[in-house]
Amino acid sequence: MIVYVLYGGQSPEHEVSLKTAATVMHALDTQKHEVYPIYISREGLWTGLGRMPEEGLAAEQLTPASRHADAASSLGEVLAVEFGRTGEKVVLPLLHGANGEDGTVQGLLELLDIPYVGNGILSAAMTLDKDVTHRLAGLAGIRQTAYEVVTRRQWDEDRTGVLRRLENRGLLPGYVKPATLGSSIGISRCENSAELEAGIDEALRYDVKLVVEREVIGREIQVAVMGNDRPKASLPGEFLHGVKFFDFRAKYADPKLRMSVPAEIPAAAAAEIRESAIRAYEALCCCGLARVDFFLGEDGLVYLNEINALPGFTGTSMYPVMWERTDGTSYAALIEKLMDYALERRHTQKSVSSVR
């Protein structure tokens, strides 16, 4: 089977995508598959690297310079040369954030009629937007912390009024988050009005819509979910980090970071978290995979934090480790399973469209 690996992208999470792609390509069975890496630069230029050699690619080979000056011509060459190959195909879109995890690339692949790993257009767009996730999870009856949405227009027109609204809602201490970014980029923890104002200014550098969430005192617990029509949830996991705010550096550069899988939490809480993860997965129309994050509060209650429709697959990522500890699925076998789910979904779609 021809396996295309899309990575890089224009999101601030570009470097995370590179780490994920390097790890995934190293794990792919080149005796079983023809692997074709496709790099998207920070400027949005697409470059096909040709068939990956069996020995893999060195780090410096992952980010080649494009021969094209604009995105359209670079994408046109990739469409004609790379995606024009004959044979069974599947795409691994290892792109985080906007223009990759938000349904845009998924829409392109739907037009090309090529199956791809992960969530479809609708679920990709909804899960990337923290505001939309909150709304749909609330409709599904899933407990969440208090939150408010702030737009750039609201902030520009009435900064004082926005601050008053957030403080009156009791959102301090709390977190200011860009609505459509991950990896803790642009997020600030705020304890007072001055920090809240600075946090909103910082987050608006990355997005035109923000969510401000009341802090939940407790532990952050993660669950890996996998599947299409019959999703299943892994054992819960927890990062042990010892910091108040689990920011980008703590996630990707802290040598003291440790995983606890399964998380050492009461059995009843673990069962509730796994059940709630599947409910959230289904409420957001997810398929293939997602990581669902919760808070286990000091009050003993479980609160949904967010859904990550394309969780990281780096060497320190929780998603593959949780499956290995749950049912023994290795990293390489997990990728094969996810590709199988992509092919299964495309088969189901074809069976429906053929009846129309």
The range of the structural domain enclosing residue 112 comes to 2-116
pLDDT for res 198: 97
Mean pLDDT per segment of 10 residues, for the chain of length 356 residues? 96 89 94 96 96 90 94 96 95 90 94 96 95 96 97 97 97 95 83 97 95 96 97 96 57 70 96 97 97 96 95 86 96 96 94 65
Q: Indicate which CATH number applies to the domain containing 88.
A: 3.40.50.20
Q: Indicate which CATH number applies to the domain containing 155.
A: 3.30.1490.20
Helical segments of 129-244, H only? 130-139, 152-157, 159-168, 193-203
pLDDT for res 316: 75
Q: Per the domain annotation, does 123 fall within a domain?
A: no
**Number of domains comprising the chain:** 3
Q: Indicate which CATH number applies to the domain containing 225.
A: 3.30.470.20
Pairing of strands 258-260, 238-240: antiparallel
Residue whose C-alpha is closest to residue 24's, from 37, 10, 39? 37
Q: Per the domain annotation, does 354 fall within a domain?
A: no
pLDDT for res 98: 80
Q: Per the domain annotation, does 356 fall within a domain?
A: no
Q: In what order do the strands lie in the sheet with 302-308?
A: 232-233, 218-227, 288-297, 302-308
pLDDT for res 52: 95
Q: Do residues 11 and 72 both lie within one domain?
A: yes
Q: Do residues 210 and 232 both lie within one domain?
A: no
Structure-block tokens of residue 151: 């737009």
Structure-block tokens of residue 124: 């990709």
- Spatial separation of the C-alpha atoms in residues 143 and 267, rounded to whole Å: 19
pLDDT for res 274: 98
pLDDT for res 69: 93
- Spatial separation of the C-alpha atoms in residues 320 and 325, rounded to whole Å: 9
pLDDT for res 246: 54
